[in-house]
Chain A
Amino acid sequence: MSVIADASLTRFGKREETLLDLACESAVPLVKKYSQDIDFIIVSNAYSGEYNDVSGLNNLISTRLSLDDVPSIRVDNTSGSGGSSIMVADSLIRSSSARNVLVIGAEKMTGFPTKRSTRIIASLLQPEERSSGMSLPSLGAFMARSYLSEFGAPREAIARVAVKNHHNGSLNPYAQFQSEISLEEVMNSKIIADPLRIYEYCPISDGAVSLLLVPDENAKSFSSSGAAITGTGYSSSTSSISSRKSITTLDCVKRSSEMALRYGKITNNDVDVAELHDMTSVLEIIESEDAGFFRKGEGWKAVMNGDTDIGGTVPINTSGGLNSKGHPIGASGVAQAAEIYQQLSGKAEKRQVQNAHYGFSLSMAGFGNSATAIVYEGLS
C-alpha cells in the first residue's frame, strides 16, 4: 500500500510562467525536502506538444529539478492522466519497483484562442464523430438534455452544482475562481452548448501539483499525517459515442468505483469527502450516481438538498472541482488527490470537512473513455 505523504500546489488560472516552470514551482518544495529519497518521477500531462511545443517533458523536468538520474516517465491519458499517474505510482510502490515516487501533474493551456483549445481537446474524439463539429461541451449538452428528460430533474439542479463548486472554490487559495456566484448569474450567463452555460463548464487553465507517494511502512518517517491509497479501480469504455447504449450512464465510472471501493474494503456510506470530474456540472451529478453515492436519477435531488455541500452527508468537490478550481488537464487528477490528502490530514482550512477519515476521487478521461477511482484512508 502507498501513502500520500506530502503535497504541493501552484495557484491554478491564467499564469505567465512556462509549463516547465509551473511544474517545477509545484515540485521544488517537495524536492528540497526529499531529494535523497525520491527514486521515481511520474509526470502527468496530456497536451505539452499541442499547447507548448514540448516533448519528453519528464526528462526536461527531472533535469531542472537536479534529479537527472532519477528514472522518469510521462503518463498521458487525456483528462484522466492524473488518476492514471497515481495508479501507476501506487503500482510501482506495491510491486517494490520503486519506493518513493514524485508525481507531478502539470498543464499550460491558456494563450491560445478558445476555438483552438476546443479543437485540441476535441482531438480525443473518434474522427468519424469529430467531423460532425462535435466538441466536448456539446457532449455535455447532449448528456444534460437526456438527463433532464429521463429523470424529470429541474434545470436549476445542474446550475446549483456550479453555485456549490464556486462557493467551495472561494474557500480554496489555489482555485482559479475565488468568488461565489448566484443561481441567477449561472442561469443568465452565456450559452456555450444549449442548454449549458459558461459557468457550468470548467475554464481553460494553467497549473501544477506535486505529490510524494511512499510505502505505508515508511510513511511515518516522512509525516505524522497523510492519506493511504487503500484501493484503486480502473476501467475503460468505448470511445465511440455512437456505440454507447446510454449517454446518461458512464460504465467506466461504475466499474472503476466498484473496484476501488471493494479493494479499499469500504462502501460509499463510509466516504467522508469525494472529488469528482466535473468538466461540466451535469457530469458531477451523473458520476455521483454511477460511483454509487446516490441512486440512478436521484443525484440531482442530493444537490438540491445540500447533501453534497461541505457539511452535507457526502461533500463533493470541496476544492471547487474542475468547475471553480480550474482544469489544467494533466494536473486535475493529481489535484483531486491533493485535496483528499489535505482533507484527511486536517489541512483543508476553511473548507475542512470535520472528522474526514475516508476519501474518494474519480479521474475521468475523455467523455467517459476511461476512469480511475481511488479510495483513501487518513493516517492520523
Chain B
Amino acid sequence: MKIYRCRNCKNRFLVFRFICPSCGMTGLETVPVIKGKVIETVMLKATPEPFPENYSVVKADSDGIIVFCRTLERLQKGDEIMIEDDDLGPVCSKI
C-alpha cells in the first residue's frame, strides 16, 4: 500500500492531490505503508463487484494517517496489522 507525502511540507495523505492542501505546493511523492493499528472494522455481507463475498473493511491508523484495507480475519480495535496489496487493493492481517 502507498500513501502520498508533500515534498515541501511533508504532510501525508491517503488520497492523491495535485496541490498540497496544507502548503499549496505541487509535487507529491509516494510513501509505502506496511503497518497500522486497527481503529474499527465493519463486516460486509453485501459487497461490490469485483470484490469477493464476506470480508471486513478495516479502518486503521498508520503513523497518524487513516488508511482503509480489507481482511478475512476477525480483528479487534488496537490490533497491530501488516498491510499488503493484492490484485484488488490493500489487504491486512494481524501481526
What is A's interface to B at a CB cutoff of 8 Å?
Answer: 114-116, 118-119, 122, 126, 128-135, 137-138, 141-142, 145-146, 190-194, 240-243
Contact = CB atoms under 8 A, between A and B. Distances in A.
| Interface residue SS majority, chain B | strand
Contact of B45 (A190, A240, A242): A190
A114 B40 CA distance: 25
A131 B40 contact: no
Contacts, number: 92
Q: Interface extent on B, as a size class?
A: 20 to 34
A133 B42 contact: no
A138 B55 CA distance: 11
Which 10 pairs of residues, A with B, have the shortest CB-CB distance?
A: A131-B89, A132-B68, A118-B48, A242-B66, A133-B70, A119-B48, A119-B49, A240-B15, A141-B42, A242-B14
A132 B44 contact: no
B42 A194 contact: yes
Interface of B: 13-16, 40, 42-51, 55, 57-59, 65-70, 88-90
Given A128-B14, A129-B15, A129-B68, A122 B48 contact: yes
Given A128-B16, A129-B68, A242-B67, A118 B49 contact: yes
B44 to A, nearest CB: 5
A130 B45 CA distance: 17
Contact of B46 (A126, A192, A242): A192
B66 to A, nearest CB: 4
Nearest to B46: A192
A128 B15 contact: yes
A137 B44 contact: yes
B49 A142 contact: no
19 contacts: A118-B48, A128-B14, A131-B89, A133-B55, A133-B57, A133-B88, A134-B57, A135-B46, A135-B47, A142-B57, A142-B59, A145-B42, A190-B45, A193-B43, A193-B46, A194-B45, A242-B13, A242-B14, A243-B13
A114 to B, nearest CB: 6
A242 B57 contact: no
A132 B57 contact: yes
Most chain A CB inside 10 Å of its own CB: which residue of B48, B50, B59, B70:
B48
A133 B14 contact: no
Given A119-B50, A128-B15, A129-B68, A138 B90 contact: no
A137 B46 contact: yes
Nearest to B58: A132
B14 to A, nearest CB: 4
A145 B45 CA distance: 16
A135 B90 contact: no
Nearest to A123: B48
Given A131-B89, A133-B70, A135-B48, 18 more contacts: A115-B47, A116-B49, A118-B47, A119-B49, A126-B15, A131-B88, A131-B90, A132-B69, A132-B70, A132-B90, A133-B44, A133-B88, A135-B44, A142-B42, A193-B46, A240-B15, A242-B15, A242-B68
Contacts of B57: 132-134, 138, 142
A136 to B, nearest CB: 9
Most chain A CB inside 10 Å of its own CB: which residue of B14, B68, B88:
B68
B17 to A, nearest CB: 9
Contacts of B42: 138, 141-142, 145, 193-194
A194 B43 contact: yes
B68 A193 contact: no
